């Protein structure tokens, strides 16, 4: 039995452990080699007195992301519904929204929305503004996820539903929604990981989330490498569980299908 | 006709040869790299064609001529300047950087070549008269992350809310829109932006801290380069190099500073 090559459907835990260990050693070695070449040593102890600020930033990122997920879900749903609407105004509106948002960088949208739209409508609170901007951005992607799932539901199912005498409402509740749910939920959870990462860009309008906290800290102590390495670890603490949940959901719903 | 042609041919060959030797001589010139953030006109900026320009750029190039090396300019974000020295990515940093004790722990500084003072760009409606008016609960102070204004605000404006932004233009927008009550930066930037936004801003030039000295930064322990820099700074100053650069980039502002009674950047006497 070869311990390095995938042979069966199921990987033996020992085999997995050996290979994962090998991979870790490989990464550590490359990293250690790079560090010794540039002659930098790391000391993370200075982070400890800063734990209060770091925790605050961490929580801020978490709140920002969760609030944005909720609001962007509403935007995404609205947009998906509007895109299949018979009223042309709604249909074009939604299409324009998705095209514009997906075709421009987030950093541009943040500056434009915050300094022009935000100021014009008197939204002073940076957190609220940040949630709005991020939700508008992510909403466009969520709209596409939902639209894609809707399109993937076979038209013959609707005919079948009609044939067995389902009303329109029954068709939606018993046929469309369960499948929509199964198809979008894994992708939506995955989108949460994107939201968490994208929220870091809100640091440019001084929302004091995790990235901004680290920027402020490095500006005074110049420990760029330690700070940003630690930042990576903190973001992984948020995104890894989310990715794991997303993959689990995907497997589960695949099985059911 | 034949003679003219041969003369022409020789001429072409000669220029070709000359340009070739020109190429080889510039290729053999050793390179030295300097990092600066090209976002602080007229000290570090880009001209319309996108080439580095400004007082610091000319200063760095003059140093290159002095030590007989070709100066390569690397445009680096402010946060990345000190790390790029620490990792040896560049040889020195000229970026209007103030010599501070906390920075001295990370890099070595040359003798000062310029000095500056902080000033406040205040929103017209927020009725700020002095720095103490900013240090109140509910007041918002915009600063550029990592700048001396940022460091001053963190240490001294504990009552105010500090909004730290990655670039100068965002700080100014915050003030003109009234999202922030004041912006702390050097006198020149405050002066210029007050001129540009006379309806929404007021400039406060009352000094509230010690003069800041600007130095060239090198990697810790690079005394050879540091000595060369110090020699050059003394020579360049004595020969009126900075006066020429002031004339080239800042003639109007120099006049305004003189009328306002402010100390000029390159006037280092106490």
What DSSP string runs through A171-217? Answer: HIIIIIHHHHHHHHHHHHHHHHHHHHHHGGGGGGGT--SHHHHHHHH
Note whether B145 contacts A: Cβ–Cβ < 8 A.
yes
Positions in chain A short of pLDDT 70: 1, 255-257
A107 in contact with B at a CB cutoff of 8 Å?
no
B83–A219 CB contact, under 8 Å: no
Tell whether A110 is covered by a domain.
Answer: yes
Looking at the domain assignment, is residue A33 inside a domain? no
Instruction: Look at residue B192 and give its three-state secondary structure.
Output: helix
Name chain B contacts of A124, Cβ cutoff 8 Å. 179
* A204 interface with B at CB cutoff 8 Å: yes
In what helix (H) or strand (E) does residue A9 lie, and over which residues does it extend? none
Q: Show residues of chain B in contact with A115, CB under 8 Å.
A: 173, 177
* pLDDT at residue number B9: 62
B76-85 mean pLDDT: 91
Asked if A166 contacts A173 with a C-beta cutoff of 8 angstroms, the reply is: no
The conformational region for residue A66 under phi > 0 = left, psi -120 to 50 = alpha, else beta, is alpha
**A26 domain residue, yes or no:** no
Say whether pTM exceeds 0.90. Answer: no
State mean pLDDT over B68-80. 93
- Closest approach of A219 to chain B, Cα-based (Å): 4
- In this structure, what are the phi and psi dihedrals at residue A81, rounded to the nearest 5 degrees? -65, -45
Distance CA A203, CA B208 (A): 29
Residues of A in contact with B173 (CB under 8 A): 115
Higher pLDDT, A180 or B52: B52
Nearest CA in chain B to A216: B145
Total tally of structural domains belonging to chain A? 1
CB within 8 Å: B170 and A216? no
Nearest Cβ partner for B164 among A40, A206, A222: A206
Rounded to the nearest angstrom, the minimum Cα separation between B134 and chain A is 18
Q: Is A115 in contact with B173 (Cβ distance < 8 A)?
A: yes
> Which residue carries 């080889």 as its tokens?
B24
From the list A223, A201, A255, the residue with the least C-alpha distance to A68 is A201
Q: What is the mean pLDDT of residues B158-180?
A: 94
Given a contact cutoff of 8 angstroms between Cβ atoms, the answer to whether B126 and B234 are in contact is no
DSSP-derived secondary structure for B90-150:
SSEE-SSPBP-HHHHTTEEE-S--EEE-EEEEEEGGG---SHHHHSSTT-EEEEETTSHHH
In a domain, A135, yes or no: yes
For chain A, say whether B151 makes contact (Cβ under 8 Å). yes
Asked if A204 and B102 come within 8 Å (Cβ–Cβ), the reply is no
Which three-class secondary structure state does DSSP give residue A13?
helix
Does a structural domain hold residue A204? yes
Q: Given this model, what pLDDT does residue A134 score?
A: 96
**Is B10-115+212-260's fold the same as B118-204's?**
yes
CA A184 to chain centre: 14
Q: How far apart are CA B71 and CA B81, in angstroms?
A: 17
Give per-residue pLDDT as tens, B202-239. Answer: 999 998 988 999 999 999 999 999 999 999 999 999 99
For B87, name the nearest residue in chain A, comparing CA atoms only. Answer: A38
How big is the CA angle at A197 (ends A42 and A236), to the nearest 5 degrees?
Answer: 50
Residue A197's domain spans which residues?
59-256
- What is the pLDDT at residue B23? 47
Contact A219/B79, CB-based, under 8 Å?
Answer: yes
In a domain, A127, yes or no: yes
* A 55-94 residues with CB < 8 A to B: none
- Write down the architecture of domain B10-115+212-260 according to CATH: 3-Layer(aba) Sandwich (3.40)
pLDDT, position B13: 58
Sequence-distant (≥ 6) Cβ neighbours of residue B75 within 8 angstroms: B35, B36, B37, B38, B46, B52
Contacts of residue B165 in chain A, CB cutoff 8 Å? Answer: 204-206
Largest CA distance in chain B: 90
Q: Are B110 and B218 in contact (CB under 8 A)?
A: yes
Would you call A225 an interface residue with chain B, using a CB distance cutoff of 8 Å? Answer: yes
Residue A79 pLDDT: 95
Instruction: Please report, for the domain that includes residue A171, its CATH number.
Output: 1.10.3720.10
Whether B104 contacts chain A with CB within 8 A: no
Residue B80 with chain A: CB contacts under 8 Å: 224
Instruction: Please compute Rg for chain A using Cα positions.
Output: 23
Q: Which residues contact B74 (CB under 8 A, 6 or more apart)?
A: B33, B34, B35, B36, B84, B89, B90
Kindly state whether residue A52 falls inside one of the protein's structural domains.
no
CB-based burial label for B245 (10 Å; 0-12, 13-18, 19+): buried
Cβ-defined contact of B88 to A39 (cutoff 8 Å): yes
- Alpha-carbon span B180 to B193, nearest angstrom: 15
User: What is the rounded average pLDDT of the residues B6-28?
Assistant: 55
pLDDT confidence tier of residue B11, bands split at 50, 70 and 90: low
Kindly state whether residue A11 falls inside one of the protein's structural domains: no
Judging contacts by C-beta atoms under 8 Å, the chain B residues touching residue A206 are 163-165
- Residue pair A55/A70 in contact (Cβ under 8 Å)? The answer is no
Say whether A204 and B150 touch across the interface (CB within 8 A).
no
Q: What token pair was written down for A15?
A: 């085999």
Contact residues, chain B, for A38 at CB < 8 Å:
87-88
**Superfamily of domain B118-204 in the CATH hierarchy:** Periplasmic binding protein-like II (3.40.190.10)
CB count within 10 Å of CB B136 equals 12
Pairing of the two strands B114-116 and B45-46: unpaired
């Amino acid at each position: 039995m070869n311990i390095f090559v995938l042979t069966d459907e199921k990987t033996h835990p020992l085999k997995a452990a050996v290979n994962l260990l090998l991979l870790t050693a490989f990464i550590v070695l490359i990293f250690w080699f790079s560090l010794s070449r540039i002659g930098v040593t790391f000391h993370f102890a200075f982070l400890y007195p800063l734990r209060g600020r770091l925790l605050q930033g961490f929580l801020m990122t978490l709140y920002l992301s969760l609030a944005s997920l909720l609001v962007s879900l509403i935007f995404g749903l609205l947009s998906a519904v509007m895109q299949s609407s018979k009223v042309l105004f709604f249909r074009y509106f939604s299409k324009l929204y998705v095209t514009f948002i997906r075709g421009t960088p987030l950093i541009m949208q943040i500056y434009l929305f915050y300094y022009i739209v935000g100021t014009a409508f008197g939204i002073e609170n940076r957190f609220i503004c940040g949630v709005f901007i991020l939700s508008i951005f992510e909403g466009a992607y969520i709209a596409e996820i939902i639209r894609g799932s809707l399109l993937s539901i076979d038209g013959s199912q609707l005919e079948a539903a009609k044939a067995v005498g389902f009303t329109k409402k029954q068709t939606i509740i018993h046929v469309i929604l369960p499948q929509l749910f199964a198809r979008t939920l894994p992708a939506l959870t995955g989108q949460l990981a994107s939201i968490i990462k994208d929220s870091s860009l809100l640091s440019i309008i001084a929302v004091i989330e995790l990235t901004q906290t680290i920027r402020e800290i490095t500006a005074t102590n110049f420990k760029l490498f330690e700070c940003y390495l630690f930042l990576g670890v903190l973001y992984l603490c948020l995104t890894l569980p989310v990715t794991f949940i997303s993959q689990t959901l995907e497997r589960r719903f695949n099985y059911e299908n | 006709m034949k003679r003219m042609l041969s003369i022409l041919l020789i001429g072409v060959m000669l220029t070709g040869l000359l340009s070739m030797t020109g190429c080889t001589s510039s290729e053999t010139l050793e390179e030295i790299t300097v990092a600066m953030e090209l976002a602080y006109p007229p000290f570090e900026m880009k001209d319309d064609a996108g080439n580095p320009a400004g007082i610091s750029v000319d200063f760095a190039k003059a140093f290159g001529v002095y030590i007989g090396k070709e100066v390569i300019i690397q445009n680096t974000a402010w946060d990345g300047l000190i790390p790029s020295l620490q990792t040896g990515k560049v040889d020195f940093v000229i970026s209007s950087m103030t010599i501070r004790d906390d920075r001295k722990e990370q890099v070595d500084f040359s003798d000062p070549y310029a000095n500056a003072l902080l000033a406040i760009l205040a929103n017209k409606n927020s009725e700020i008269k002095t720095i103490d008016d900013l240090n109140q609960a509910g007041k918002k102070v915009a600063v550029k992350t990592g700048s001396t204004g940022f460091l001053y605000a963190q240490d001294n404006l504990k009552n105010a809310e500090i909004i730290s932004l990655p670039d100068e233009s965002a700080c100014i927008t915050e003030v003109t829109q009234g999202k922030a009550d004041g912006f702390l930066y050097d006198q020149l930037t405050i002066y210029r932006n007050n001129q540009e936004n006379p309806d929404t801003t007021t400039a406060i030039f009352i000094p509230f801290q010690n003069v800041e000295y600007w130095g060239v930064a090198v990697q810790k322990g690079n005394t050879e380069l540091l000595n060369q820099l110090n020699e050059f700074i003394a020579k360049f100053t004595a020969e009126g190099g900075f006066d020429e650069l002031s004339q080239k980039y800042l003639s109007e502002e120099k006049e305004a500073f003189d009328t306002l009674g402010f100390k000029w950047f390159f006037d280092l006497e106490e």
